[in-house]
Structures are given as structure tokens and as C-alpha cells.
Amino acid sequence: MASLTKSDRHILSVTTYNMLLLVLLFVWGCSATYKIGVGKSDITGPVVEVNFMGYAYLSQVGTGLRQRLFARAFIVGDVDDANNCFVYVNLDTACGDTAVRYGILDALAALGSEYAVYGQQNVAVVGTHQHSGPGAWMNYLLPQVTSLGFDQQSYEAIVTGAVAAIRQAHESLTEGSLAVATTNVTDANINRSLYAYLNNPAAERARYTSSTDETMTMLRFRRASDGLDVGVLVWFAVHGTSAYENNTHVTADNKGVAEYLFEKAMADAASAADGFVAAFTQSSVGDSSPNVLGAWCDDGSPCSFENSTCDGVAGSCHGRGPAFRALDLGITSCYEIGRRQFAPALQLYETFDSVATALTDPSVRAFHFFHQMDGFTFALPNGTEVATCAAALGYSFAAGTTDGPGPFDFTQADSGVADANPLWAVVSDLLETPTAAQVACQAPKPILLDVGQMTEPYAWAPNIVDVQLLRVGQLIVIVSPSEVTTMSGRRWKDAIRTAAVEQGVVAADVDPIVVVSSPANTYAHYVATPEEYAIQRYEGASTLYGPWQLPAYINLTVSNIGYLVAGAGSPAEGTYPPDNRNVSLDFIAGVVYDSPPLGYAFGDVLVQPASSYAAGEVVNATFVGANPRNNLRLGETFAAVEQAVADVWTVVMDDWDWYLEYTWAQTDVLLGSSQVVVSWETQDPAPGVYRMHYYGDWKDVLGTVTSFESVSTNFTISGT
């Protein structure tokens, strides 16, 4: 081979350089550029004297706070067209809801033209499905029964925080890239209705290794300006029922723990921008339980397989979390199931680039419409015409699940204790007997509550649902109003994946990535497969619109998937669901006034901490308190642990921290006296000098609210 001249070498190196550049451009070109923004804001409503939303257990009324709740918002937009964008709001709440979504949309509309691109069509409001936050913020009457109505303060905390998170996301919009990676998590969920799941066809079940969806999907947001990550949105299916129905401290359950651990880890990560937002969002949650040791009778024998009873009774069959022997209302299990989502997520994040798929198509699309489920007739894929019905709940609904008693289990208040529930006393006479047509439509469901036909004094449950899909590049998000069971989610995702390819929604050379978010936008209970429905366990009994609900949801989304094609228009909005915010009943008494016991002042320390503790011990301080409903202290804290660092008090823990617990108790109803215990379950803190700090707000007889604060004496913690 002839030797090259200097000029030849130059030409060669230029060519090599150009080729390299081309290759690089090709790689960069693969990853599309989007507008991205993230935000996070406190949504912790009244932590005491309000019933928790989720288990609908009449006596589960808040007595304090373990961990604050947040809204985390993500905005994705097309760089070339500001109108093509969507907002994904992940709320640490039991579910999305019509009242809350109306409130968010009203508030966005009031922000003026800059926010006019966000509306019905492209805002998704998704709940993490936790069961230990204050309730009384929902649009329909049924979930209001155990919460004694609708509480303006509880509702506003969620709406205001969600809007604040969306504003932060909007104000932080910048160019960036998105990529998706998945991993399998095998120790954080279990199927709680295996008997129903097994009624799905054997050939279909054989396609999967598990009876729960074990896929964790992470969407990473990386901004272009400095290459730092601003957030992750993580889908994984597991009920937020680690904390049991007898826990009365507000928490965001296992997903709140995962979010906390991930955001704390990112605070020190070189790859993460300041204000990094990690949202763990809910997926095919319907039959997926965090009680991974299975369900057992209180006497230690297994519950009946078919109907989860012990000697024919449902009440004594309970799911057990990984740490059920801790006898701490599920709190240790809750942390552990959170950690079991955090750890694989962190590992995925740290190895992300080697396994991720970049989103490569710059288009961003979303559609939403309302659909009347009562009397919706449509054709199954084999041509047979079927219909969905007005909402109804079956008998198994009252029995609840192995994760806890039935949500809205107000049958407990049915006789004898009616006086205990003033709202039930008002509405119990309004129960409807289902018509023959409704019985036939819902068969084989034995109807317990014909909620879809009950509209007095206002609608009890939704008959109109939100139908919504979001798309960015080849990622498609199914936004479901009902809790989707494992197999329902698989069928729905398959149908969307197939349709997205067939209808050219995604480019021919990429595979669509499909995820399910549920429960979102409203609360339409469950969606089970027709085969699971036939079994009528809890999830089937709570599939509101009859046996064909899942095929209907699939039909509605698949038929409209063309709206996700770049440049397509929008579907008609449909008939809006009723807005019950102004007409809802409210039997929740407000705070009358606070006053300290005779001879004391607000903030006086009734019980000081000991002077020293060993790491691992619990430190308690008791203060003369006031009702925390006087001021929710959103974005602030009721309690803090401070450490003396070079003689300067430095906050080391606040209301967000899992191991700092705030407990409020009324000690004299007439006088309005109360006390607060700030309790720190120390793990392995740095040895040093610490104190407890309590922040309160008291209300006088005229209604004026005044803030106060107080600190305990110093205490030292020695090493282990």
C-alpha cells in the first residue's frame, strides 16, 4: 500500500472528522428536543378532625402528621408549537377527582392568556392512591358519606398546591430531552384477587410470569442548557395501603416514601439540577397489593382463596406487609415498600443511559373528552354489540379487600349508629331499587348500591367519565378514571400499542411505549376484565359500568387514537359532568376557638425531652398546642428537629421527614385546650446537641388566628 502524502492525510482526517460528526449528529438527532418543566408544591390539608380518604373507615379520623403531601407537576411541550403540550400532575392523594380537576382548570384559566394553552384537553390529574390523607374534597356524594361531606379547606389545599406546582413547571419551561427506561420489581406487589385473575384465559395468563404488573417505567427529564436532570416520573403498580386503616397520621403511603428517598438522594447527585422532582405515579393498581406476605386470618390460618374470608367473615382477613410483626399500623411496612420502589428506581437512574430509549419524535399530543357510560352501545372486536350501564356497586364492595374494609363502607353506619353520621341520616332514605333493565345490564353483579341512578340531593357517583390519552414522541400515556386491574392494564396497553402502529401514530421504525396511569381525573372506582367481573370479588363488584366496561374503555381510546397524530384536531368535549362543589353537604365542624389550660400559655412545654438519648431511641416533647386546622402551614412545618452546629440551630428534620411525627389531641373540648406531641424516632443521627421546635396557630373567640412557636430544652444524642 502506497504511503500517504501529508495532504492525503489531511484530507483523510477531515473526512474522518466529518464522518464522526455525522455519526454524532445522527445520535443526537435520535433524541428529540422538547419544552420541559417540573414543579412541586405542598398540598397537605387539615391533618386532624377530618376523615381519611381511601378506606372510608368512619373512625379513621386524622390525629396528626407523619409526612406532608405534595403535588408534582410535569409539563411537556412541542418546541415548535406551544399549543401542543400536556400537564401531568401527580397528587399524593387517593385519586384524581372531578371537583379538584374543575378547581385546577378554573384557577389556570384565571391566570390569563399565558396559561390558556392548558385546559380540559391536556391536563391529567393523577392520584398516587394513598389511603392516609385527609378526605372531604371529592365531587360525588358516595365518598363524601364517610368524610361527613365536602370540606373547603381540604379541597383548596389540593387545588392551590396543584396549581402552584403547575406554575413552577410552566415558569421553568426550557428545552430538553426525554428518555424512557424500564426495570422489573418483583418484591413490592402481590395480587390480592388471584381467584378472579385466574378466571382470565389460561393462554393469556401464560404470556406473563406474574399475576401483577412488575414493570417499573421511568421517564427522565434532562434540560439542554447544562445537561442536568430536572426530574423523573416513575410508573409502578401497587396499592397505597401499606399504612392500615387504623393509622391516623397523614402520610403519602409507600409512594410518598419513594418520592422522599429519591428526592433526598438527588439533592447530593451531580447529575441532578436544584429542585429535582421525583414523582412515583400509580399504574395498573386495581388488584395489586403492597401486603406482599399475603392475606391471613387473625388466628394465623390462610383466608379462603375464593372470597378472602375467615369462617365466612371478611373482617378478620388481613393482608400482611413485609414488616407486619412491627404492630405499628403498617408504618414500617410502608417505609419498606417505599424503599423497594426507590432502590430499583435509583439503580435504573444510575444505569439509565445504557438501557434507556430516547424519545425521538418531537411531536407532543393529548386529547380528552367526557363520555356518558350509561347506555353506551358499541361493538366488540368480534362484532357483537354490547352496552355499558349506569354506575352500580355489587355486594362484595361492602366486604372490602384484604387491604382494609370496603372503601365507603358506610353499611357499618346503616342501622343503629346512624346518629354517628349526620350525612348518612340525611341521604340514607334516598337509596334506589335498581330497575329490571339495570339488573340485567349489570349481571352477574348483584347490585348493592345503584349509585348511578341516585342523583338526590346530587349525584352519588360518576356516570360520565374522562377519556384521555397523552403522547410525547413514542410514549403514550393512558389516563384511566378507574383503578385498572393487572390484566385489564395489559389488554388496554396491547390494544393501544397495536392501534398506534396501525394508525401511524408513531413512526414506522419505533416501537410505541405505553403506560397506564390510574386512578385519574375522576374516581370511577375499578375496571376489571369481563372474566374477572364474572367472579365478582371486590374489584369486579366495583367495576361500575357493567361487564363490558373494559372493552368500552378500550373502544373509546382506540377509536380516538388518531387525535394523537401530529396535526390532527381535537374530539368534541362531550357533556361535562356535574360540578358539585357548591352544592355539597358539609357536616364537618370548624374550629371554634383555642385556649390554653389555666395557668399555661400556648407553646409551654408540658413534658421536656430527657437530657440524653442513645441513637435509635424515641425522643418526645409535649407542648400546649392549638388546632392545626387554624393554619395548614403549607410549604412550612408544624414540627422541626434542630441541631446545634457550631452553636447555630440548624433544621435537620421537618414535616416531610418520615421519622418525625406530629400528634395533636384535644384535652378539653369546652375550654378549647389541646396538646401536641412532637416525636422523633431517631435512626442513626449524628451525635450532637438537639432540640424540638413546634410551630402553632391559635384562634380566639372572634376568629382571629395568631401564630406562636416554642422550643424544647436541649438534649444530646450519643452514637450507637
Ligand X SMILES: *[C@@H]1O[C@H](CO)[C@@H](O)[C@H](O)[C@H]1NC(C)=O
Region from 27-35, 183-191, 424-432, 633-641 binding ligand X, contact rule CB under 6 A: 183-191
Judge whether 478 and 566 are in contact, CB under 8 Å. Answer: no
Look up 584 and say whether it is catalytic: no
Q: Write out 29-98 in H/E/C secondary structure.
A: HHCCCEEEEEEEEECCCCCEEEEEECCCCCCCEEEEECCCCEEEEEEEEECCEEEEEEEEEEECCCCCCH
Distance CA 444, CA 14 (A): 75
Q: Given candidates 48, 126, 190, 323, which one binds ligand X under the rule CB under 6 A?
A: 190
Would you say 214 or 263 has its CB closer to ligand X?
A: 214
182 contacts ligand X (rule: CB under 6 A): yes
Q: Given candidates 209, 225, 433, 611, which one binds ligand X under the rule CB under 6 A?
A: 209
Q: What angle do CA 243, 60, 239 make, to 5 degrees?
A: 35
Compute the least distance from the CB of residue 289 to ligand X, in Å.
Answer: 8
Would you say 314 or 470 has its CB closer to ligand X?
A: 314
667 contacts ligand X (rule: CB under 6 A): no
Residue ranges in 29-88 that form contacts with ligand X under rule CB under 6 A: none
Residue ranges in 383-412 that form contacts with ligand X under rule CB under 6 A: 384
Region from 365-373, 374-382, 410-418, 501-509 binding ligand X, contact rule CB under 6 A: 374-382
Q: Given candidates 33, 153, 309, 372, which one binds ligand X under the rule CB under 6 A?
A: 309
239 carries a ligand binding annotation = yes
Judge whether 482 and 544 are in contact, CB under 8 Å. Answer: yes
First to last CA, the chain: 73
107 contacts ligand X (rule: CB under 6 A): no
- For 328, counting Cβ atoms within 10 Å of its Cβ (0-12 exposed, 13-18 middle, 19+ buried), the class is middle
Grid cell digits, residue 76: 411537556
Compute the least distance from the CB of residue 663 to ligand X, in Å.
Answer: 4
Region from 161-169, 203-211, 507-515, 651-659 binding ligand X, contact rule CB under 6 A: 203-211
Q: Given candidates 33, 205, 265, 294, which one binds ligand X under the rule CB under 6 A?
A: 294
Amino acid residing at 310 = C
Would you say 174 or 304 has its CB closer to ligand X?
A: 304
Distance CA 387, CA 496 (A): 21
CA 398 and chain centroid, separation: 23
Residue ranges in 682-711 that form contacts with ligand X under rule CB under 6 A: 689
Distance CA 346, CA 227 (A): 19
Among 401, 215, 191, residue whose Cα is nearest residue 290: 191
Q: Where are the alpha helices (DSSP H) in 125-222?
A: 141-147, 152-171, 194-197, 202-205
Residue ranges in 241-260 that form contacts with ligand X under rule CB under 6 A: 244, 246
Would you say 170 or 490 has its CB closer to ligand X?
A: 490
Grid cell digits, residue 462: 360518576
Q: In sequence order, what are the residues at sequence separation of 6 or more whose Cβ sits closer than 8 angstroms to the Cβ of residue 30? A: 358, 360
Compute the least distance from the CB of residue 379 to ligand X, in Å.
Answer: 4
Grid cell digits, residue 409: 363502607
Phi, psi of 416 (to 5 degrees): 80, -55
194 contacts ligand X (rule: CB under 6 A): yes
Distance CA 704, CA 84 (A): 47
Provide the mask over 632-661, with x wherever binding to ligand X is found by CB under 6 A and - wherever it is not.
Answer: ------------x--x--------------
Which residue's C-alpha cell is 374489584? 539
Compute the least distance from the CB of residue 18 to ligand X, in Å.
Answer: 37
579 contacts ligand X (rule: CB under 6 A): yes
Residue ranges in 109-168 that form contacts with ligand X under rule CB under 6 A: none
Distance CA 150, CA 104 (A): 17
Would you say 246 or 575 has its CB closer to ligand X?
A: 246
Q: Given candidates 5, 206, 300, 312, which one binds ligand X under the rule CB under 6 A?
A: 312
**Residue 251 DSSP one-character state:** -
570 contacts ligand X (rule: CB under 6 A): no
Q: Given candidates 167, 318, 340, 490, which one binds ligand X under the rule CB under 6 A?
A: 318
Residue ranges in 601-620 that form contacts with ligand X under rule CB under 6 A: 618, 620
677 contacts ligand X (rule: CB under 6 A): yes
Task: Identify any residues that bridge with 220 across adjacent strands, giving them in sequence order.
Answer: 179, 232
Judge whether 230 and 192 are in contact, CB under 8 Å. Answer: no
Region from 68-76, 127-135, 142-150, 179-187 binding ligand X, contact rule CB under 6 A: 179-187
Q: Given candidates 79, 107, 269, 329, which one binds ligand X under the rule CB under 6 A?
A: 329
Compute the least distance from the CB of residue 523 to ligand X, in Å.
Answer: 19
Question: Which of these is catalytic: 177, 242, 289, 518?
Answer: 289
183 contacts ligand X (rule: CB under 6 A): yes
Q: Given candidates 153, 304, 332, 666, which one binds ligand X under the rule CB under 6 A?
A: 304
- # chain residues binding ligand X, by CB under 6 A: 42
10 carries a ligand binding annotation = no
Region from 86-94, 373-381, 500-508, 512-520 binding ligand X, contact rule CB under 6 A: 373-381
**Residue 608 DSSP one-character state:** P
249 carries a ligand binding annotation = no
Q: Write out 357-370 in H/E/C secondary structure.
A: EECCCCCEEEEEEE
Task: Identify any residues that bridge with 595 across adjacent strands, giving them in sequence order.
Answer: none
Distance CA 125, CA 138 (A): 13
Compute the least distance from the CB of residue 374 to ligand X, in Å.
Answer: 16
105 contacts ligand X (rule: CB under 6 A): no
Distance CA 500, CA 506 (A): 6
Q: In sequence order, what are the residues at sequence separation of 6 or more whose Cβ sits closer than 8 angstroms to the Cβ of residue 68? A: 42, 44, 250, 252, 655, 656
483 carries a ligand binding annotation = yes
Phi, psi of 225 (to 5 degrees): -55, -45
- The binding site for Zn(2+) consists of 129, 239, 483, 526
Which residues of this protein are in contact with ligand X, per CB under 6 A? 182-184, 190-192, 194, 209-212, 244, 246, 294, 304, 306-307, 309, 312, 318, 327, 329, 378-382, 384, 555, 558-559, 579, 582, 618, 620, 644, 647, 663, 677, 679, 689, 714
- The binding site consists of 129, 239, 483, 526
Active site residues: 289
